[in-house]
Amino acid sequence: MSEPSVETSRANLRSRLDGLTIRDAARLGRRLKNLRGAKPDKLRQLTDQIAVAEALVAARHAAVPTITYPDLPISGRREEIANAVRAHQVVVVAGETGSGKTTQLPKICLELGRGIRGTIGHTQPRRLAARTVAQRIADELHTALGDVIGYTVRFTDQVSDRTLVKLMTDGILLAEIQRDRRLLRYDTLILDEAHERSLNIDFLLGYLRELLPRRPDLKVIVTSATIEPQRFAAHFGGADGGLSVPIVEVSGRTYPVEIRYRPLEVVVSPGTADDPDDPDHEIVRTETRDEIEAIVDAIGELAAEPPGDILVFLSGEREIRDTAEALTGLRNTEVLPLYARLPTADQQKVFAPHTARRVVLATNVAETSLTVPGIRYVVDPGNARISRYSRRLKVQRLPIEPISQASAAQRAGRCGRVAPGVCIRLYSEEDFAARPRYTDPEILRTNLAAVLLQMAALQLGAPPGYVENFPFLDPPDRRSIRDGVQLLQELGAFDHHGAITDLGRRLARLPVDPRLGRMILQAQTEGCVREVLVLAAALTIPDPRERPSDREEAARQRHARFTDEHSDFMSYLNLWRYLREQRTEMSGNAFRRMCRDEFLHYLRIREWQDLVGQLRSIARDLGVAESGVETDEPDPARIHAALVAGLLSHVGMRREDDREYLGARNSRFVLAPGSALAKRPPRWVVVAELVETSRLYGRTAARIQPEVAERVAGDLVQRTYSEPHWDASRGEVLAYERVTLYGLPLVARRRVGYARVEPQVARELFIRHALVQGEWQTRHHFLRDNARLRAELEDLEERARRRDLLVADDDVYALYDARIPADVVSARHFDAWWKTQRRKTPDLLTFRRDDLLRADDTAGADRPHVWQAGDVALPLTYRFEPGAADDGVTVHVPIDVLARLGGDEFAWQVPALREELVTALIRSLPKDLRRNFVPAPDTARRVLAGIDPGREPLLMALQRELRRRTGVLVPVDAFDLDRLPPHLRVTFAVEYEDGTEVARGKDLPALQQRLATPARQAVADAVAGEMERTGLRAWPDDLPEVPRVVERTVDGRTVRVFRLSSTRAVRSTCACSPRRSSRNMRWVRVSGGCSGSV
C-alpha cells in the first residue's frame, strides 16, 4: 500500500471517531495517534475496533424508547428546560417536592439525544432512592430495569452496554473518578437533591467545576429544592467558573399550609382585681411547659380540625418513646413510631391503610428521606439531632439544636400534599425569624478525613491541606482540615508532611471509612483478615439486632447467646458464625422467618453479607489475603490489635474507682449502656465510635491491653525518659520510660535500656560508673590495677589532709573517653571491643601514677605509714573528713602490746600536723597569755625549730621554748587540750590479732584501763606453749629455772613476759602472779605493766 493511501485511511478513521461513544473515541484516538509508521495489519485491526464501537452507538441509539410525560408540574416546563440544557453546559432546576423533576429530567435529556455517546448519570443521596427512582423511570418508559434504565449502588450493579440512564448514589460516582478522571463514561450528569449539601455532593460540585473546561461536551444539571438555587448557579457561573447558568424553577403540587406558633411558654392567667401586688392588672403570669406536654396540647388543638393524620417531629428514639407513652389512651388514635433503626415491619406500618386517626412520631428521617402518606397536620418542636464534629474532642457529636428555617419549611411542607394543612410550631415566630436560613452543609460539621484521602489519591490539590484551593461551595474551616490531616496521619495514610503514603493509596481504594480500611490492612499483619472484614462490614451498617420497644426484653434474651462479655466485636463474630451456620441449613424463606422470630433484621443481614463479599473481592485485589479456614477459632487478641490500628484515638483507660474513661486528648467518656462491658468495665478499652449526646459515649467496645496500642501506634506514641542510671547487674545504663498516646499513659514506668535513646549519655554514664567509680564486677586486669593505684593516691590525700592531689572523676572520665570508641555504651559492647583491642594494646587502659596525680608528693616522710613505738611498729591510717570521729590520724594498736604503750610520745602527732598542733595549743591559752605569742602560726614555727620532738613531753617542751624565746612562763595546765580540733588528737584503734576492732578512742590511758583484762589474756595467748604444764596438782620438782624474760615474735612484733621475783608466790596479788586451779597449774604471762619498764 502506498503512503498517501495510508494517510487517507488514517484521516478517514479520525473522522469516524466523532460517531463513537466518548470513552471509545478517546481510547481509539490514542491508538490511532500511536500507529504512525505502523504496518497495515495494525491499521486494519484498529478499523475493526472502530466498527465494533460504531455498532455499539447504533445499538444505543436504537434502544431509545418512546418518551411520554405524566401530568406533573415539570412536564409543562420541559421545553424551557430542554432549551436551557441545549444552550448551556450547566443548568440549575429548582423544584419543590412532588414537581416530578427527579423522574422527568432524564427523559428530557434522552429526548435531546443525550445518553447515546455517553451515559446519563443520575445521582441520588441514598441507595433506596436510586433503586426506586430507576424502577419508576423504567416503568414509565415500559422497559426492563437493567436495560435502558439501570442503577448501581454499593452491592448491586444492574447496567449493561445498552444502559442510557444510570441511577446511582453520589458515592458511586465519586468512586468512579478514581478510575475515570475525566468521567468519559458520561455525557450528562444530573446531581439530584443537591440542597442536602452532603459531603459527597459538595465534593462533586467542586470537582465538576474544575472538570467542565476540559469536558465541553459534558452537560451538568443540578436539581435542588427551592433552597438557595442561586448559590449553585453562582458556583459554576462566577468569575472563576465563567459559565452562564440559567435557573429553571418548577412549582410543586401542594396545598396551602397554615402556620401556627405555640411556644412552650404560655400565659397562665392575667392579673386579678383582688391581687394587692397588681391593682392595675398589668402583670401577666406565664409558665414554661415541657416539650411532651406541649405536643399533647397541640394534638388536642388539632382534634378540632377536619380528620387527618398528624406527623410529630422529635429529636431521637428516647423522645419518641416518652411521647408515645404520654399519648397512650387517646381515643380512636393510633400512635406509630418512625426512625431509622426501627425494624422494617414497624416502619411499614406507617404506610399501611388505616381508618382511625394516626399520629406518627418521627425523627427528621421523615423530613426528606421518607414521605409519610395521608399527613394533614404537623407538630414541629423545632429541634433535631444534628451531627457535628467537635474539634476539641476530635469526635462526632449529636447535639440537639434548633433547626434552620429551611428545615422548618420542609417539615411544614409535609402536611400540604393531600389537602390544606396546619403546622403547629412549638416556638415563637420571633424565634423562627432569628434562626439561620439554612442548615450548615455537612462539610462544615464533619471530619474531612475521607474527603482528604480521596483528594490526595486523585491528586487534587496539594499537601498538607489539599482542599484549601479546591472550589468547594463552602470551603471548610482550616482547623477542620488540620484535624482531618491529623486523623489520616494517625492511620498512616499521610506522612508528617501531609503527603499520601503507599498505605494511604491502598486505603483510598477501600469503599469504607478510613478507620475501617486501616483495620483491614492491619489485619493482614495480624493474620485475621477474614474476621476483620466481617467486623468492618458490620460497623458500616446499622445494627442488625432489632429491639422492638414492645418486646425489648424478649429480644435481649434472644441476643444474649451471642454476647461476649469482654468484646462487643466478638459478639458480632458470634452472630456472624451463627448466621452462616443457619444459612447453610435453611432455605431462603426459612432463613427469613428465623431472622424475624429471633429479632434479626433480614435486609441488614443481607446487606452485611453483601458488603463482606465486596470487601473480600477488593481486599484480594489489594493483595490482602485471608489466612486459615472459616471454621478456625478466632483469636481475640489479634483481632483487637487490628481494630486498634484504626481506632487509636478511641482507646480509653478507666479511672480508679470510677466508670468514666480517660480518652485521647484528655476527653472523658463512658461505655454506652448497650455494651456488654458496661456493667463491669475493664481497665483498658477500645471503642468503635465516640458520640456525644447527653454525654460522651463509647459504642461497641472491647477489652484490650495497653501494650497492643503501643505496638500498633508505632511512632504516634510519645516516649519520655527519666532517671537514667547505671545498673551493675545488667551491665548497662537503664532509664524509666513513660509511653503516652494522645495523653493516655500506656506505660507509666518501665525500665528500658537507655543506649537506644541517648547513646552518648549512656556511654558517659557507663564510663563514669562502671570504669571511673568501679561499679562493675568484672575480671579485667586494668580495672584492678587502676583501683589499686587510685587507692594509694587517695591514702596519700588522707595523710596530706588535701583534696587536690588526685585528679577529679571528670579527669579520669576524660582519660577513658579518649581511649574508648564512641559506640561502646554498655558492658556488653565494652567486652566485645576489649577482647580484640587488648591484644593490640594491653596497657591502653592501665593508668600511670602521673595520669592520676595532680600535684607532687612532697609530704610522704611527714606522713608516715607506721608509728615506731620502741621496737613496735604500729600502722597509721589517715582520714580527711572534718566532723567524723576518726578525722585525722589513727594508730592501730594490737591488743597484746596495748599495756606497753605510753601516751606522751603520741602527743607529738605526725610531723605534717605538728605545726598546726602547736598553733592550736597556743590559741587554746587564756587571752592574757595568748597575746604574748601572736601571730600564733609564726610563733609555732619558731618554737618547733628550737625543740627536739619526742625527747620530752610535748607540753613541757613548749613551756620551756616559749619561756626561752619570750620570757613568759606558761603553766602546763594553761594549755586547754579540749579546745584542740579533733583531727589534731591521735585516735587509738585497739584490735585483735585478726584485725577485729575491740575499741577506739583518743584517751590512751582510759583504753588501757578499760581493756586490761582482755589485754592480759591476749599476751598469755601470744607466748603460750613451751613452758606451760597442765594436769599438775603440786609444784613439779623437775621444773627448770624460769627465765626472767620470755620473748616471742608475733606478726613481726616482740611480746615480752617478765618473771616474778618468786615463782612460788602463788597467792601474790600482782597481775603477773601465777594462779592455781584445783586440777591444773599454769603460768600466766603478761607483757609490761608490773615491771615498770618496757
456 pLDDT higher than 60: yes
Q: How far is CA 984 from CA 795, 879, 974, 980, in A?
A: 18, 12, 18, 7
Position 630 scores a pLDDT of 65
Average pLDDT over residues 978-999: 90
Instruction: Provide the 3-class DSSP secondary structure of residue 555.
Output: helix
% residues pLDDT > 70 (the chain): 87
Which CATH architecture describes the domain 64-250? 3-Layer(aba) Sandwich (3.40)
122 pLDDT higher than 60: yes
pLDDT digits (tens, 9 = 90+) for 510-531: 878 899 999 999 999 999 999 9
Q: CB-based contacts of 642: which residues, under 8 Å, 6+ apart?
A: 519, 520, 522, 523, 525, 526, 528, 532
User: Kindly report the CA angle at 587 between 583 and 591, in degrees rounded to 5?
Assistant: 55
Cell numbers describing residue 81:
428546560
Ranked by mean pLDDT, which of 98-107, 645-654, 865-874, 900-909 comes out on top? 645-654
631 pLDDT higher than 50: yes
Identity of residue 322: D
CB atoms within 10 A of CB 1064: 9
Average pLDDT over residues 342-346: 73
Answer whether 523's CB lies under 8 Å from 512's CB.
no
Q: How far, in Å, CA of 358 to CA of 343, rounded?
A: 19
Position 372 scores a pLDDT of 78
Q: 257-268+285-440, which class in CATH?
A: alpha beta
Q: How far, in Å, CA of 537 to CA of 629, rounded?
A: 19
Q: How far, in Å, CA of 47 to CA of 28, rounded?
A: 10
pTM, entire model:
0.65
Q: How far, in Å, CA of 91 to CA of 246, rounded?
A: 5
Answer whether 107's CB lies under 8 Å from 141's CB.
yes
Instruction: Provide the 3-class DSSP secondary structure of residue 248.
Output: strand
Instruction: Provide the 3-class DSSP secondary structure of residue 920.
Output: helix
Position 1086 scores a pLDDT of 39
For β-strands 872-879 and 888-894, DSSP reports them as antiparallel
Per-domain residue ranges for the chain? 3-61, 64-250, 257-268+285-440, 449-501, 509-712, 715-755, 760-852, 866-1001, 1019-1082
Answer whether 95's CB lies under 8 Å from 254's CB.
no
pLDDT digits (tens, 9 = 90+) for 127-165: 878 888 999 999 999 999 999 999 998 768 899 989 999
Position 281 scores a pLDDT of 58
CB contact burial 766-776 (16+ within 10 A = b; e otherwise): bbbbbbbeeeb
Identity of residue 1031: G
Q: How far, in Å, CA of 942 to CA of 962, rounded?
A: 9
Q: How far is CA 837 from CA 395, 771, 831, 832, 990, in A?
A: 60, 16, 10, 9, 48
Give the H or E element holding residue 646: helix 636-646
Q: CB-based contacts of 983: which residues, under 8 Å, 6+ apart?
A: 801, 882, 887, 888, 889, 913
Is residue 268 very low, low, confident or very high in pLDDT (cuts 50, 70, 90)? low
Torsion (CA) 107, 112, 118, 119 in degrees, nearest 10: -10
List, as one string, the DSSP characters of 888-901.
Answer: EEEEEEEGGGGGG-
Q: CB-based contacts of 123: which residues, under 8 Å, 6+ apart?
A: 130, 167, 168, 169, 170, 172, 173, 189, 190, 191, 192, 201, 204
The residue assigned the cell 582510759 is: 1006
Q: How far, in Å, CA of 689 to CA of 701, rounded?
A: 9
User: Kindly report the CA angle at 908 between 903 and 910, in degrees rounded to 5?
Assistant: 115
Position 878 scores a pLDDT of 87
Average pLDDT over residues 699-707: 96
Query: Matching CATH topology for 64-250 and 257-268+285-440?
Result: yes
661 pLDDT higher than 90: yes
Identity of residue 379: V
857 pLDDT higher than 60: no
Answer whether 565's CB lies under 8 Å from 681's CB.
no
Position 1062 scores a pLDDT of 46
Measure the N-to-C terminal CA separation of the chain; round to a whole number of Å.
142
Is residue 1077 very low, low, confident or very high in pLDDT (cuts 50, 70, 90)? very low
Answer whether 151's CB lies under 8 Å from 167's CB.
yes
Backbone angles phi, psi at 749, to 5 degrees: -160, 105
601 pLDDT higher than 50: yes
Average pLDDT over residues 46-64: 92
Q: Which residue in 644, 642, 620, 646 sits closest to 528, CA to CA? A: 642
DSSP 8-state code for residue 806? B
pLDDT digits (tens, 9 = 90+) for 800-850: 777 667 888 889 999 999 999 999 999 999 999 999 999 999 999 999 988
Cell numbers describing residue 686:
477500645
Q: Which residue in 447, 448, 370, 373 sits closest to 410, CA to CA? A: 370
Across-strand partners of 165?
A: 120, 149
State the Rg of the chain over Cα.
52
CB atoms within 10 A of CB 757: 16
Answer whether 95's CB lies under 8 Å from 73's CB.
yes
Question: Alpha helix locations (H) across 924-968?
Answer: 927-930, 936-945, 954-966
Q: How far, in Å, CA of 64 to CA of 56, rounded?
A: 13
